[in-house]
Structure 1
Amino acid sequence: MANPNVPRGALNLQNVLKYTVQNTDQNAEEKPIEAADDVEKKQFLESALSAMTDAPTALKAALVILNSEEATTDDKLESLDVIRSHIDDIDNANALVKLGGTVTLLRYVKDSENEIRVSALNTVAEMAQNNTFCQNALITEKFLPVLTKNLSEVNEDVVRSSIYAISSLIRNFQPGYAEFKRIKGIKALVPCLKSSNSNIYIKAAFLIASISRDKNIRDDFVKAEVFPVLLENLRPVIEFDVKQETTLFALSSLSLDSELKLSTEKRKEILSILQQIISKNKQTENCEDIVNYARNIVDNLSAR
């Protein structure tokens, strides 16, 4: 059955967007939109969307485009950009949920081409960050199983953005972490620590470090044998190295008050590397955190 709120005629993006704008501004003049080439259509979309200073209207228009079968890749990317430009405001992020935006985003997180998929994943991450309402909605809509499955994707940008989204859904949000644990998310995350892509490794290690301050979560990761996997990436450094800093951050978090199964020989080897890191970097600019994390691990291991 046809929707009476949609203008008659061919459902092209220009007419849909024009209709959305005109129904927000009752003083808008009817102007015929002639067939345009891709450049003209893109310019129309950009100018119309940017003219929408009212966030709910902009979000509605973006969703209309994302839900249209006529939308091109550029149309979809532009619409996702519009959404992302508004959802840093919590009220707007919540409004997106109420408009049915989670259903649309879930479809793109699952099925779209990689560039759009990454943008949709980043949108999910940004709307969920420190927002309990959105976190609950996204958990209810079963985003976490999809995001966790994405961790085994070949495309590295999809993997990295999926970790970002997972982080936003489970950090400081117990129901999110409980669901992540239930669906065996820890097991799915561990291979990311073995990735040759430094960005994926750093995202995964940082997530583990930041949520393992909670002892119950820390114990889950220790039982999953995450500590030895992180150790494989530990190297003596003589200058700032973001991968090593993140590795040390994660090891520091996991080693605190934990039942680590380390042989005497392995413990000595680790302590030796850590002492080298401390000795070589304690006077090095930008290495204060590296040295502090290394000292924390030494203290934690020596206390066992």
Structure 2
Amino acid sequence: MAKEGPNWDGLLKWSLSHADGTRPTRNLSEEDRKWFTEAMQSQTIDVVKRMKEITLVMQAPQELLEAQEVTPQDIEGMLDELQEHVESIDMANDLHSIGGLVPLLGYLKNSNANIRAKSADVISTMVENNPRSQESVMEANGLESLLLNFTSDTDLHSRTQALGAISSLIRDNDPGITGFRLANGYTGLREALESDSVRFQRKALHLLHYLLQENDSDCDIAIQLGFPRLMMCLVSSVDADVRVAALRGMLELAKDRKCLTCGSSIEKDKLQQILEDRVKGIRLMSQEDRTAAEEEKQLLDSLWIKFSNK
């Protein structure tokens, strides 16, 4: 399955033999120019043709792949290559037109967890800041498949990558946000925050913050599901990114008066103790670490003011 790459060694030796830095650059002979052009052209990949080849493999029945001794690792390598191709918005949009999107989404149901995770990675890359590909994935029911993996996959890595793809898919995509809400996506985010995986928590917090910024009314959902209490606990996380993301989320919720006044959502005394402990912890840091924690300190101060004036 591996595709032979450019002959970099040959090109390097040729370059060094003609430009070693000790003599002036000379004009290429017609023979050298022809050789170099042919060498480069021979390594040029027809990306659309290559994506069509990958699509054929994705469409192939599992029995055929096994008969050809294609391994899950081969499939992962192929998806790695596809991900590089769809980094180009044009190539990402072409994937659907050549028939590659549907079998890619089908890989979300593959029996191999790494393939499920990798296919979510590819989807995330192709829809990021790409409204046309977002629409194509939505029309192909890609959000439903990603949500299923996010909430129900038995493999935590696959769940995490599915969440990353969902985040890319629904950003600046109103139908995607609506679909996420209607499918109880917030319940999935709550489960992610309750997990022991720092990566899972980070991705969930970043998406939660975005959703709360986009829709003030979603604060009600977050409060009802107990997000304030969960984020309050994550303010003490060992991971700095999780702490900062949790503080941002709490500040976003604090704009809602219900969050400020609902005692069942926020235990004021406990929160203030947590904030005090974090501020003291930052004060005990080295100067270098305190500088790195400057954003966290500012968020702590802002949150303290919000709830002190409650």
User: Normalising by the residue count of structure 2, what TM-score does the alignment of the two structures yield?
Assistant: 0.75
Matching residue within 61, 65, 68 for 2:60: 68
* C-alpha distance 217-170 of structure 1, shift in aligned 2 (>3 A): farther
2:232 aligned partner: 231
C-alpha deviation, 1:118, in angstroms = 1.0
Q: For 1:87, give the aligned amino acid.
A: V
Matching residue within 274, 277, 285 for 2:291: 285
Q: Distance in 1 between matches of 2:79 and 2:257?
A: 43
**Quick check: 1:106–1:143 contact (8 Å CA) kept in 2?**
yes
Larger fraction in helix: 2
1:47 aligned partner: 4
Q: For 1:66, give the aligned amino acid.
A: M
C-alpha deviation, 1:268, in angstroms = 2.5
Q: Distance in 2 between matches of 1:106 and 1:119?
A: 11
**Quick check: 2:190–2:227 contact (8 Å CA) kept in 1?**
yes
* C-alpha distance 174-222 of structure 1, shift in aligned 2 (>3 A): farther
Runs of 5+ in structure 1 lacking a partner? Answer: 1-41
C-alpha deviation, 1:202, in angstroms = 1.6
1:38 aligned partner: none
1:220 aligned partner: 221
**Quick check: 1:122–1:165 contact (8 Å CA) kept in 2?**
yes
Q: Distance in 2 between matches of 1:244 and 1:99?
A: 44
1:64-143 matched pairs, under 5 angstroms: 64-69=56-61, 70-71=64-65, 72=70, 73-143=72-142
Q: Could you report, residue by residue, the CA deviation over 1:193-212 in whole angstroms, capped at 9, with x for unpaired residues?
A: 11012221121122112322
Runs in 1 of length 4+ with deviation above 6 angstroms?
none
1:37 aligned partner: none
Runs of 5+ in structure 2 lacking a partner? Answer: 8-42
1:56 aligned partner: 48
Q: For 2:174, give the aligned amino acid.
A: Q
Q: Could you report, residue by residue, the CA deviation over 1:75-113 in whole angstroms, capped at 9, with x for unpaired residues?
A: 322221121111111111111122222211111001241
Q: Distance in 2 between matches of 1:266 and 1:221?
A: 16
1:266 aligned partner: 267
User: Normalising by the residue count of structure 1, what TM-score does the alignment of the two structures yield?
Assistant: 0.77
* C-alpha distance 273-60 of structure 1, shift in aligned 2 (>3 A): same
* C-alpha distance 265-198 of structure 1, shift in aligned 2 (>3 A): closer
Matched, 1:196 2:188: no
Q: Distance in 2 between matches of 1:122 and 1:197?
A: 18
2:174 aligned partner: 174
**Quick check: 2:268–2:307 contact (8 Å CA) kept in 1?**
yes
* C-alpha distance 144-291 of structure 1, shift in aligned 2 (>3 A): same
Q: Distance in 2 between matches of 1:190 and 1:212?
A: 14
* C-alpha distance 236-112 of structure 1, shift in aligned 2 (>3 A): closer
**Quick check: 2:79–2:119 contact (8 Å CA) kept in 1?**
yes
Q: For 1:64, give the aligned amino acid.
A: L
Q: For 1:186, give the aligned amino acid.
A: Y
Which structure's CA Rg is the greater one?
A: 2
Q: Distance in 2 between matches of 1:273 and 1:78?
A: 46
